[in-house]
């Protein structure tokens, strides 16, 4: 029961954090800067900070055994500070608000990401559910920023999430799940025929390719508010269901088949709303599988593992800021890339179900648990 409450709190908080960040980006930042090239640069810098530094934050948190709830709460408050800077009367540069939101977002993701992995009980569902809500937060935050929703609303939401995480942490004081920092890769790989490092590389390549393809898919039918947020709903649905399906039917089966089946829907019928929606859901299913593929090789470095996957997302996303694939190449290049992503999963992931891979150590009250 406590695990379900914890998942609900962190998943909701993830949505609120992403909502708040994009509320600032699409509201104050875009309205203040106005120049499209500068706005694009701002989004690039936001992505570099929010996704690129998670690996370093995770490494630091793992090495010093910092409780993940503290990191998540700190992230919420940094984003809250970004909101205050964005809408204060001090006329500060909008870049300060952007940077604070990006740093806060990165910190929260590591705290919540560790929670989603350390309490997963050897399954993939929890990681997918936690990450999925971010897509909803981004879409709603974009709409709220454009409509100039009262800025105090996301502030109250962030404070409520921080309080919920704090109360949750206090209630788990005597039942703290702990893992020790260790740079030595562990046995128990998904695919015993290849090394742990190669599995990590294959999973990261799959994420990089998927990230690039996801931003290159031409979606021309976002003409209404509902259709604008529909791709985000698809991403949410795919990520949410991906881990659940993988636990039930096998990670390799689900991951490879979902990517291959998505090809015609995304690359040849993307102008059809219904078919494209099906493709987007299928395309996002592998998120939890690749996250778990990396985490399984670094069970005592979960923050670092989570950060590696977000760095891969950044690497795949960055080229789209500088060029777009010519329309004539989309139906050729994107299918090839999706097949590459599927091949990486085919060789890195097994269908074997694993439970209780992480060792649970029950600890008494300690200073590490105090906030």
pLDDT digits (tens, 9 = 90+) for 283-322: 999 999 999 999 999 988 999 999 999 999 999 999 988 8
The percent helix, strand, coil of the chain (3-state, each to 5) is: 75, 0, 25
Tell me, what's the pLDDT at 25? 93
Tens-place pLDDT, residues 6-35 = 999 999 999 999 999 999 999 889 888 878
pLDDT at 176: 42
Q: Read off the pLDDT band of 363 (50, 70, 90).
A: very low
Whether 194 shows a pLDDT value over 70: the answer reads: no
Report if residue 359 sits inside a domain.
no
Domain annotation covers residue 8:
yes
Query: For residues 205 and 208, what is the distance between their CA atoms, to the nearest angstrom?
Result: 5
Q: Which of 287, 191, 306, 297 is CA-nearest to residue 243?
A: 287
Does any domain span residue 232?
A: yes
Q: Say which residue, 232 or 189, is predicted with more confidence.
A: 232
pLDDT at 278 over 90: yes
Q: How many domains does the chain have?
A: 1
The more confident residue out of 113 and 328 is 113
Mean pLDDT score, 127-132: 96
Whether residue 86 is contained in a domain is answered as: yes
Is the pLDDT score of 355 beyond 50? no
The answer on pLDDT for 173 being more than 70 is: no
Q: Could you tell me the two tokens for 184?
A: 């030595």
pLDDT of residue 31: 85
Where residue 149 falls (left for φ over 0; alpha for ψ -120 to 50; beta otherwise) is beta
User: Which string of b and e fits 59-91 if b means at least 16 CB within 10 Å?
Assistant: bebbeeebbbbbbbbbbbebbbbbbebbbeeee
| DSSP characters over 265-285 | HHHTSTTSHHHHHHHHHHHTT
Full-model pTM: 0.88
- Split at pLDDT 50, 70, 90, the class of 187 is very low
Mean pLDDT value of segment 247-253:
94
Task: Give the CATH number for residue 129.
Answer: 1.20.1250.20
Any domain includes 366: no
Residue 147 falls inside a structural domain: yes
Which range of 30-34, 130-134, 216-220, 358-362 scores highest in mean pLDDT? It is 130-134
pLDDT exceeds 60 at position 113: yes
Average pLDDT over residues 258-281: 94
Among 237, 261, 243, CA closest to 342:
261
In the block, tokens 């393809």 appear at: 213
- What is the rounded distance in angstroms from the CA atom of residue 103 to the CA atom of residue 186? 31
N- to C-terminal Cα separation, the chain? 23
Q: pLDDT at position 353, please?
A: 52
- Output 51 or 86, whichever has higher pLDDT: 51
Residue scoring higher pLDDT (300 or 340) = 340
- Residue 324: which residues within 8 A CB-CB, separation 6 or more? 216
User: How far apart are the C-alpha atoms of 321 and 85, rounded to whole Å?
Assistant: 27
Which pair of structure tokens corresponds to residue 309?
Answer: 């996957």
From CA 109, how far away is CA 229, in angstroms rounded? 22
Mean pLDDT of the chain: 86
Decide: 27 and 147 in contact? Cβ < 8 Å.
no
| Range of the structural domain that residue 8 is part of | 2-348
Mean pLDDT, residues 183-209 taken together: 72
Kindly state whether residue 353 falls inside one of the protein's structural domains. no
The arithmetic mean of pLDDT across residues 225-254, rounded, is: 94
71-103 residue pLDDT tens: 999 999 999 999 998 887 665 678 999 999 999
Give kind and range of the element (H or E) at residue 69.
helix 68-86
CB 254, CB 242: distance < 8 Å:
yes
361 in any annotated domain = no
């Amino acid at each position: 029961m406590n695990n379900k409450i914890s998942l609900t709190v962190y998943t909701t908080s993830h949505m609120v954090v992403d909502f708040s960040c994009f509320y600032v980006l699409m509201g104050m930042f875009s309205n203040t800067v106005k120049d499209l090239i500068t706005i694009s640069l701002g989004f690039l810098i936001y992505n570099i900070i929010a996704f690129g530094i998670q690996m370093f934050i995770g490494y630091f948190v793992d090495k010093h055994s910092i409780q993940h709830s503290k990191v998540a709460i700190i992230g919420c408050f940094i984003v809250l500070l970004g909101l205050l800077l964005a809408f204060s009367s001090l006329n500060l540069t909008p870049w300060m608000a952007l940077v604070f939101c990006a740093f806060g977002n990165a910190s929260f993701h590591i705290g919540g990401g560790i929670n989603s992995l350390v309490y997963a009980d050897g399954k993939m569902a929890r990681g997918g559910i936690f990450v999925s809500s971010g897509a909803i937060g981004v879409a709603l935050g974009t709409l709220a920023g454009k409509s100039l929703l009262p800025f105090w609303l996301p502030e109250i939401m962030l404070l409520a999430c921080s309080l919920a995480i704090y109360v949750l942490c206090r209630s788990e004081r005597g039942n703290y799940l702990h893992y020790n920092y260790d740079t030595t890769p562990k046995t128990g790989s998904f695919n015993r025929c290849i090394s742990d490092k190669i599995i990590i590389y294959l999973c990261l390549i799959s994420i990089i390719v998927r990230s690039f393809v996801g931003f290159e898919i031409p979606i021309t039918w976002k003409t209404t508010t509902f259709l604008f947020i529909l791709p985000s709903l698809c991403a949410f649905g795919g990520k949410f269901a991906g881990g659940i399906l993988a636990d039930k039917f096998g990670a390799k089966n689900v991951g490879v088949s979902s990517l291959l089946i998505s090809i015609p829907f995304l690359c040849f019928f993307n102008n059809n709303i219904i078919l494209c929606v099906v493709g987007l859901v299928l395309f996002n299913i592998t998120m939890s599988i690749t996250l778990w593929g990396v985490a399984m090789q670094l069970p005592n470095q979960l923050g670092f593992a989570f950060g590696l996957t977000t760095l891969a997302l950044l690497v795949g996303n960055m080229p789209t800021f500088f060029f777009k694939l010519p329309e004539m190449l989309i139906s050729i290049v994107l299918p090839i890339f999706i097949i590459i992503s599927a091949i990486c999963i085919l060789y890195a992931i097994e269908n074997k179900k694993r439970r209780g891979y992480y060792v649970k150590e029950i600890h008494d009250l300690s200073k590490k648990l105090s906030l």
